[in-house]
């Protein structure tokens, strides 16, 4: 029917000296053959620059439905081991730092509780003993807390479900807005 769809674009930027470029009256231009020398700009001197472009339409055997395959295929399936190992080392390091801080705090609090102190200091509670009394106390505005926690868990579950289906390939980038629609609904 004479209608075509664009399935790919290849852009090649280049600069050409003005002497090698001839402008025509109809708005098109010709480039002298074998004279594709780059345009040289000199500091402190005005240089006229002509902006033009050339479009070359090439027929392709790529179908509309498979136009994204070149971007979605990872090629040889190379796994980036350096990034994975780097992430694991950072996680282990941060976990160790948190464990050291937590152990120092707990050791200091436990040591202060186990010391025999006079009666005034025993009556005054501090640290973890204060939390012990708050564990079973109902929170203020418990309905609001329950609504926020429930909504947050629902959003978190939906994000993981959508990402899972996207990893399985069920959400194609060719269907624009499908990912957003899946998140919303």
Encode pLDDT of 79-109 as tens digits: 677 888 899 999 999 999 999 999 998 888 7
Q: CA-CA distance, 86 to 184, in Å (whole number)?
A: 34
Which DSSP string corresponds to 141-170? THHHHHHHHHHHHHHHHHHHHHHHHHHTT-
Nearest to 67 by CA among 5, 141, 1: 5
pLDDT in tens, 58-73: 888 877 777 777 766 6
pLDDT of residue 120 exceeding 60, the answer is: no
pTM above 0.85, yes or no: no
């Amino acid at each position: 029917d004479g209608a075509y769809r664009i399935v790919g674009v290849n852009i090649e930027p280049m600069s050409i000296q003005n002497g090698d470029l001839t402008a025509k009256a109809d708005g098109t231009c010709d480039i002298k053959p074998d004279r594709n020398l780059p345009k040289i700009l000199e500091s402190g001197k005005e240089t006229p620059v002509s902006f033009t472009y050339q479009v070359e339409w090439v027929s392709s055997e790529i179908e509309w439905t498979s136009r994204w395959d070149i971007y979605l295929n990872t090629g040889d399936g190379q796994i980036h081991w350096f990034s994975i190992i780097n992430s694991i080392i950072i996680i282990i390091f941060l976990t160790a730092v948190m464990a050291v801080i937590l152990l120092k705090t707990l050791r200091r609090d436990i040591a202060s509780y186990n010391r025999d102190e006079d009666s005034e200091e025993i009556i005054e509670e501090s640290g973890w003993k204060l939390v012990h009394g708050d564990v079973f106390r109902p929170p203020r505005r418990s309905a609001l807390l329950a609504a926020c926690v429930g909504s947050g868990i629902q959003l978190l579950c939906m994000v993981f479900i959508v990402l899972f289906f996207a990893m399985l390939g069920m959400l194609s980038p060719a269907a624009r807005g499908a990912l957003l629609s899946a998140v919303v609904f």
